[in-house]
Amino acid sequence: MANVALREVRKTYAGGFEAIKGIDFEVGDGQFCVLVGPSGCGKSTLLRMVAGLETISGGEIDIGGRIVNAIEPADRDIAMVFQNYALYPHMSVYNNMAYGLRNRRMPEPEIDTRVQEAARILELGAMLERKPRQLSGGQRQRVAMGRAIVRQPKVFLFDEPLSNLDAKLRIAMRVEIRKLQRRLKTTSIYVTHDQLEAMTLADILVVMNGGTVEQIGNPLEIYQKPATTFVASFIGAPPMNLMPLRDAGGFRAPSGEGILGVRPEDLLISGDSPAGGLVLDLTVEAIERVGAETYVYGVRSQESGASTVSTSPGELPPGEVIVRVPGAIGPAIGERLRATAPREKLHLFRPDGRQRIDL
């Protein structure tokens, strides 16, 4: 096992486009780190730089105390699991898992020991003679993970490994990957655009946007105290409600300018107005009942000149607010209601959205 440290890492392509803009963070020995962000934010490029599949334009990548900038991928002692599995279709499951070890000229008894152990861990023992075309998507992904496990690397790298699976299987495989990593205690870096996947898998979460790091921390800390409006709106489903401070009915802050945020679950449908808290008068426009809870989409009173702020690709339409209420019963479409939140549940950011302000 090993720690992985990135120091002022940069990637600039021909023509001057800077895909990675001086990134610094460290993944401790045995930690599970998740890189999350929207498409095009640089997370896969960064992972490929760690793997050695992309050249580094500046900075240092350190794996286990060794600078690997100029070291070939095969010599970095890492194993990568790809989105498309990358299995050899003409080979059996056993031979797919053994292929890399044979290239290293490892003795056959040792190869067999490693493949059989990986097959046992991943419950692939009955499938070792099958070809990839005879397997389901989840089984193919387990073979791809088995091929990584047999190498016994210092670091696992995962590039959106679950994106080709259906929703139910993706949840099951997410749990299996986390259990496997905890069992093997191998340092891992995992790329995804799915914030729920990121929240449930990570020991350390790195939120990326536009080639930079917006925030690093454990998932719960980031959810509870997002550093920027981008993080606030990207992490969490449904996203955090964000509005200019001037539209925040009943709320007063030390500064007259800024962006106020509140999570949908922290808004209450109530006639009461909490002292010093937030009060929003809404008209219900849509309702989503998802079983154990209901999402109520309301529009703020236009009398206030309601407007929103630019945050992320998942931002809410102007004036819209989401309230999450328990159960399957909610207000009717067209109904007017009052949503409130106490001061301690509110988040305040600078007008440019780049910094959190403590209330």
Among 229, 246, 267, identify where a domain stops.
Answer: 229
Q: What is the CATH number for 120?
A: 3.40.50.300
Question: Which residue carries 């509140």 as its tokens?
Answer: 262
Angle made by CA atoms 171, 89, 135, in degrees to the nearest 5 = 35
* Beta-bridge partner residues of 26: 5
- Contact yes or no for 146/153 (Cβ under 8 A): no
Q: Would you state the pLDDT for residue 305?
A: 41
Write the secondary structure of 107-146 as one string of H (helix), E (strand) and C (coil). Answer: CHHHHHHHHHHHHHHCCCHHHCCCCHHHCCHHHHHHHHHH
Q: Would you state the pLDDT for residue 261?
A: 93
Among 229, 245, 260, identify where a domain stops.
Answer: 229
Among 229, 252, 267, identify where a domain stops.
Answer: 229
Same domain, 41 and 122: yes
Same domain, 77 and 10: yes
Q: What is the CATH number for 347?
A: 2.40.50.140
DSSP string covering 294-344: EEEEEEE-GGGT-------TTPPPTTEEEEEEESS--PPTT-EEEEEE-GG
Residue 340 identity (one-letter amino acid): T
Same domain, 182 and 305: no
Q: Would you state the pLDDT for residue 237?
A: 86
Which strand (E) or helix (H) includes residue 180? Answer: helix 167-184
Same domain, 73 and 165: yes
Q: Would you state the pLDDT for residue 163?
A: 84
Q: SS3 for 93?
A: helix
Chain-centre distance of CA 82, in angstroms? 16
Domain count, the chain: 2
Same domain, 41 and 131: yes
Same domain, 252 and 221: no
What is the DSSP-derived secondary structure letter of residue 15? T
Same domain, 249 and 159: no
Supply the range of the domain harboring residue 32: 4-229
Tens of pLDDT along the chain (359 residues) come to 689 999 999 999 998 999 999 999 999 999 999 999 999 999 999 999 999 999 999 999 999 999 999 999 989 999 999 888 788 999 999 999 999 899 889 999 999 999 999 999 888 989 999 999 999 888 898 899 899 999 999 999 999 988 888 888 888 888 888 988 988 899 999 999 998 899 999 999 999 999 999 999 999 999 999 999 999 999 988 899 998 887 666 677 666 688 999 999 999 987 676 777 888 889 999 999 888 889 999 998 654 444 444 444 445 555 789 999 888 777 889 999 999 998 899 999 998 999 998 87
Same domain, 136 and 11: yes
Same domain, 169 and 258: no
Q: Would you state the pLDDT for residue 332?
A: 87
Same domain, 100 and 70: yes
Same domain, 142 and 183: yes
Same domain, 198 and 268: no
Q: Would you state the pLDDT for residue 250?
A: 60
